[in-house]
DNA sequence: GAGTGGTCTAGACCACCAA
DNA sequence: TGGTGGTCTAGACCACTCC
């Protein structure tokens, strides 16, 4: 409120941070109930929630819809230059990956996808929706759109495995040039639902447009990450 | 509240969005006062603010600290592979760049900077803090850290010009390999103050570690972008 | 069924910006 | 100086989770 007497929210944030730094609240730990915390800090639930939302914005805590607040685990480093897939990347960082298939079907291509994949209007594409976890925590919702011309019968395969490997083994296709776009935004309804977070929580949208090693445009994806789950890294050479 | 009767917040968001889509609220326009809007939507200020914060998270509106809410202009596309600087990039997208020098001095290198620049502990570095605008809107707070060995007398120059050009003209140094790290997080106090946004607003932190064309580690920067001002794009080849 | 988070109401005071 | 946004209080009801 005043400059010399920090706001209540700031004080609460500082107190919680201090606990986390000193290892009293470990990554993944559940915080006490909001009402309990608001009593502890002698304030209202609204104010306490403001503080938690601040910490959430900074990536220190996160919430699971209607389940409560938890201490955020460290971010995954997403190295764009490495040609590896989610599972390899997560495991290489000593953590446990998991992928769950949500849906897979041929649909009329949305306009954005036609544009990205260079398809004619009203083409069909194969859409694969999945969600992924790191150490059990939901962190990523992905929609893949495949150009069906290159992947006949792809829906018959096990689609919870890394697509990279499926492409290689079943179709002899490997990724070549990849175009990335990254954009901080709120998670849209679809992604928020799949990740079990309250709609509108902050997220990072990453879109990829993938060519194969022969330069053909083979698929694109739309990834929605929890904003605090990831650190993107890349090296650019002249 | 109920699934079939959308929440008040959702309804307000939808109404404002609709106005923006139909060009009744143009980019940069100031929204009416919160109290006025809350009356218009027949709700409390708290609820109305929730809605605005949602739209802010999605990058549709933004606020200037204590000045009100405004409609967000389109994002700047930050193409990592292009070796151009802020001014060139902004102008190339038909917009007006502006850079303001906040401070420039030699200081004892913070630990992080020692690490990034490969300096011995307790080395000196030159720190240059600046803030930048697009079409008059504050969007970026940057701290540059230069290895003083390569830039004797750099503080004597005009530091509101692009450093890239200063490096080239005064020192014959050009960028070579650049390492980027991107991380969605809240704006820290320093950046929030410089950008005149309320502390804790969402932002995108980009750090760069820059080598010159001969592979020497010459400087690094710490950029804090308004989260809704930017879209990062890059192409990765095998 | 108890307790939780999600949502909302109806106010209040303050510091700061603009006039 | 008036009005603005920033912050905070003290409640309330609901849907959902978890026991």
DSSP A128: E
Whole-angstrom distance, CA of residue B177 vs CA of residue B180: 10
Q: How far apart, in Å, are the Cα atoms of A29 and each of A20, A136, A178, A228?
A: 10, 13, 37, 16
CATH topology of domain A76-233: Chorismate lyase (3.40.1410)
Which position has the token pair 């007398």? B153
* pLDDT score for B139: 95
Whole-angstrom distance, CA of residue B62 vs CA of residue B60: 7
CB contact under 8 A, B202 and A57: yes
Whether the pLDDT of residue B141 is over 70: the answer is yes
SS3 A154: helix
Q: Round to a whole number and report the distance in Å from the CA of B104 to the C1' of D6.
A: 32
Whole-angstrom distance, CA of residue B116 vs CA of residue B97: 28
The residue ranges of chain A whose pLDDT is under 50 are 1-4
Note the strand C nucleotides within 7 A of protein beta carbons: 3-12, 14-18
Whole-angstrom distance, CA of residue B141 vs CA of residue B132: 7
CB contact under 8 A, A54 and B202: no
Query: E strands, A85-201, where?
Result: 97-108, 124-134, 137-146, 175-186
Token duo for residue B69? 């809410």
* pLDDT score for A21: 86
Q: Go through A42-67 and write b for each residue having 16 or more CB atoms within 10 A of its CB, e for each that does not.
A: ebeeeebbbbbbbbbbbbbbbbeeee
Mean pLDDT of B208-231: 95
Task: Decide: A46 and A179 in contact? Cβ < 8 Å.
Answer: no
* pLDDT score for B2: 33
* pLDDT score for B3: 39
Using a cut of 0.85, tell me whether the model's pTM lies above it.
Answer: yes
Whether the pLDDT of residue B199 is over 90: the answer is no
What would the pLDDT profile of B76-116 be if each residue is shown by its tens digit? Answer: 999 999 988 999 999 999 999 999 999 999 999 999 999 99
Q: Counting Cβ atoms within 10 Å, is residue A169 exposed (0-12), middle (13-18) or buried (19+)?
A: exposed
Task: Count other Cβ atoms within 10 Å, centred on residue B68.
Answer: 12
What would the pLDDT profile of A49-61 be if each residue is shown by its tens digit? Answer: 999 999 999 999 9
Strand-pair partners of A35: none
Average pLDDT, chain B: 91
**Domain B5-71 of CATH type 3.20.20.140:** no
* pLDDT score for A2: 33
Q: Using an 8 Å CB-CB cutoff, list chain A residues near B228.
A: 184-185
CB contact under 8 A, A177 and B238: yes
* pLDDT score for B185: 94
Q: Round to a whole number and report the distance in Å from the CA of A202 to the C1' of D9.
A: 28
Question: What are phi and psi for residue A49, nearest 5 degrees?
Answer: -65, -40
* pLDDT score for A3: 38
Interface test with B, best of A52, A184, A187 (most B CBs within 10 A): A184
* pLDDT score for B213: 92
CB contact under 8 A, A234 and B234: yes
Identify nearest nucleotide to residue B36 by CA to C1′ distance: D4
Whole-angstrom distance, CA of residue A88 vs CA of residue A95: 10
In chain B, where the domains are located: 5-71, 76-233
Closest CA to A116 of A208, A213, A184: A208
Chain B CA closest to residue A226:
B184
Q: Round to a whole number and report the distance in Å from the CA of A23 to the C1' of C8.
A: 36
Give the nearest partner residue to A184 out of B178, B200, B204, using CB atoms: B204
* pLDDT score for A25: 86
Q: Within an 8 Å CB–CB cutoff, is residue A180 touching chain B?
A: yes
Whether the pLDDT of residue B41 is over 70: the answer is yes
Count CB pairs under 8 A between chains A and B.
Answer: 117
* pLDDT score for B68: 92
Q: Within an 8 Å CB–CB cutoff, is residue B235 touching chain A?
A: yes
Whether the pLDDT of residue B5 is over 80: the answer is no
Task: Decide: A131 and A195 in contact? Cβ < 8 Å.
Answer: yes
* pLDDT score for A1: 33
Instruction: Count the alpha carbons within 13 Å of B180 in the hemisphere toward its beta carbon.
Output: 22
Question: pLDDT-derived band of residue B7, with 50, 70 and 90 as boundaries?
Answer: confident
What would the pLDDT profile of B114-124 be if each residue is shown by its tens digit? Answer: 999 999 988 99
Which position has the token pair 């120059």? B157
Pick out residues whose CB falls under 7 Å from strand C.
Answer: A 1-3, 31, 33-36, 45-46, 49, 63, 65-69, 198-199; B 1, 7-9, 43-47, 50, 65-67
């Amino acid at each position: 409120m005043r400059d010399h007497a920090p706001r209540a929210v700031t004080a609460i944030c500082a107190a919680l941070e201090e606990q986390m730094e000193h290892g009293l609240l470990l990554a993944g730990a559940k915080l006490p109930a909001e009402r309990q915390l608001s009593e502890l800090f002698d304030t209202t639930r609204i104010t306490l929630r403001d503080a938690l939302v601040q910490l959430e914005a900074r990536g220190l805590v996160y919430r699971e819809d209607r389940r409560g607040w938890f201490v955020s685990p460290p971010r995954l480093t997403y190295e764009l230059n490495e040609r590896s897939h989610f599972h390899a990347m997560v495991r290489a960082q000593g953590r446990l990956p998991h992928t769950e298939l949500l849906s897979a079907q041929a649909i009329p291509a949305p306009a954005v996808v036609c544009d990205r994949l260079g398809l004619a209007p009203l083409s069909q594409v194969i859409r694969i929706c999945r969600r992924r976890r790191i150490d059990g925590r939901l962190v990523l919702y992905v929609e893949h759109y495949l150009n069906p011309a290159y992947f006949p019968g792809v829906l018959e395969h096990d689609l919870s495995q890394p697509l990279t490997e499926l492409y290689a083994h079943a179709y002899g296709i490997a990724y070549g040039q990849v175009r990335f776009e990254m954009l901080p935004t709120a998670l849209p309804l679809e992604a928020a639902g799949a990740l079990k977070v309250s709609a509108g929580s902050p997220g990072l949208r990453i879109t990829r447009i993938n060519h194969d090693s022969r330069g053909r445009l083979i698929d694109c994806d739309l990834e929605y990450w929890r904003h605090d789950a990831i650190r993107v890294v890349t090296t650019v050479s002249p």
